[in-house]
Amino acid sequence: MQNKNTMWKDTLSLFAITLVAGGLLGLVYQVTKEPIALAKYNKKQEAYKAVYADAASFEENSDLSSAVASAEEALANAGITGVYISEALEARDASGETIGYVMNFGSNEGYGGAVDLSCGIAKDGTLTGLSVLSMSETAGLGAKCTEEAFQAQFAGIKADSIAYTKTGRSADNEIDAIGGATITTTAVTKAVNGALAFIHANGELSK
């Protein structure tokens, strides 16, 4: 009987401890949930600011969000494979007016795998900036896609699609390829073309 009573006491004690611990975890979650969400929001705003400096904020649009969910399939149907769209937001000025779009997107066809990017696209279709967020390309070759000299080429281009050249830019929609890294250059260019195609299909551009 003594052993049985001890077992019940131990069980009740363990249950009480678990209940209290669960309650404390729930309380901590509720207290920290908003600050964590705010920190993530601010970090995202800063990242997008790097590719769309003229915008004051970046906000969700339900139609764009719905389009993102089926973007990979839609792009594949348009002949753009290996490209994914992770997020698309409206870029707004200080008055709240939409002046363009920002996106997180990328290609699965880099030399080392996925190349994650972000870009800004103004309402007239002009690229406002490009940033490589993460990649696993070869050091000294494909990894040069993270250098400002490569990324800066995209800003200011207004075209339905972008091409790369190995012999020096001669057209408004061209960028110079990374020497010895054609696969990386192709992956980035293809991803940007996917982003442009997505916005042309789902955004409100004024050409």
Which of 125, 127, 99, 100 has its CA nearest to residue 188? 127
Name the residue ranges covered by the structural domains of the chain.
51-202
pLDDT tens per residue across all 207 residues of the chain = 556 567 767 777 777 787 777 666 766 556 555 666 555 666 677 889 999 999 999 999 999 999 999 999 999 988 999 999 999 999 999 999 999 999 999 999 999 999 999 999 999 999 999 999 999 999 999 999 999 999 999 999 999 999 999 999 999 999 999 999 999 999 999 999 999 999 999 998 876
The whole model's pTM is what?
0.80
How far CA 164 is from CA of 90, 99, 111, 114, 188, in Å, comes to: 28, 28, 17, 19, 10
Q: For residue 138, what is the DSSP state?
A: P
- The letter for the amino acid at 77 is N
